[in-house]
Amino acid sequence: MSARTRPAARFQRIGIIGGGQMGAGIAEVCARAGLDTVVAEADATAARTARERVAVSLERAVQRGKLDRLSAEDALARLVFTGDLEDLADRQLVIEAVTENPGAKTEVFAALDKIVEDPAAVLATNTSALPVMQLGMATRRADRVVGLHFFNPVPVLPLVEVVTSLHTSAETAGAVEAFARDTLGKTAIRSQDRAGFIVNSLLIPYLLSAVRMAESGFATAADIDAGMEQGCAHPMGPLKLADLIGLDTVDAIAAALYEEFKEPLYAPPPLLRRMVQAGLLGRKSGRGFHEYGHIAGRG
């Protein structure tokens, strides 16, 4: 890799694609780190919703004493929200955080490859389980495509998985890991490009086991969660955690794991599939294995 195309050791101009729960969280931590951050959404209406999502999160951080008001205002001022992907042309690092759908993500990377002008720019994906290789091969810069998987809620949880495909260069991986660690203050761990990476390969079978237990009538959702919280000192029971992640996301990750490994423990249970079909997605829809008094992000 020539010096001209070597990834910057410190990225300053950041692009985020997708302003949902994950994308908004990533945008927030970038802005709080003092970075020039542009968030691209599907249209102007979605961009306004994304801005409100970040503003609400920053206000909560102020109310909880985690952030002073001036810092929150400064962070929001560093953010630009747009409905036009072309506004990411000058970015040094672009992080994709759209829906966990292979076709949608591949389309985004193919478009970014044409839009982002800097030959040294890095394109990262926040995918939970999809192959980084597949996304890299949709571009002409597969050596500068990498997985950068954050965890929800992004402003709170310290971990980031850096996922390298067979094409990702050592320089790209090193630059992104340094960015996550030194600029964002995250703990970065390395994973090979296999479905589920490290965390979800261990977590998803546990969550699916809890779903199957509830599905069979063996125990109620409340008792399953209480058992793990009070018997194993877990901060959150498995079904509450599945609700927080989003049952549609859990289902998508499980499907990707099962597609790659064909192991029965990864197969999404019928109850999970039915709940997703019914729109019972957990906290973000107001109801999943538990009921919530509001739809997350709207009240």
Return the CA Rg of the chain: 19
Is 234 in the active site? no
Report d(CA 228, CA 250) in Å as an integer.
19
Please identify which of the residues 41, 149, 191, 285 carries the catalytic annotation.
149
DSSP annotation of 264 reads G
The angle formed by the CA atoms of residues 28, 29 and 34, to the nearest 5 degrees, is 95
Return the structure tokens found at 34: 């003092």
CA 11 to chain centre: 19
Q: Which of 100, 161, 177, 285 is catalytic?
A: 161
Pairing of strands 122-125, 145-150: parallel
Tokens linked to 225: 């969660």
Q: How many residues does the chain have?
A: 299
Separation of alpha carbons 207 and 187, rounded Å = 24
β-strand pairing of 187-192 with 93-96? unpaired
161 classed as catalytic:
yes
Three-state DSSP at 99 gives: coil
Which of 41, 57, 96, 128 does the annotation list as catalytic? 128
Q: What are the CB-based long-range contacts (under 8 Å, 24+) for 179-185?
A: 179/10, 179/11, 179/93, 180/148, 182/10, 183/10, 183/11, 183/33, 183/35, 184/29, 184/30, 184/33, 184/160, 185/33, 185/158
Q: With contact defined as beta carbons under 8 Å apart, do 76 and 53 qualify? A: no
The residues annotated as belonging to the active site are: 128, 149, 161, 200
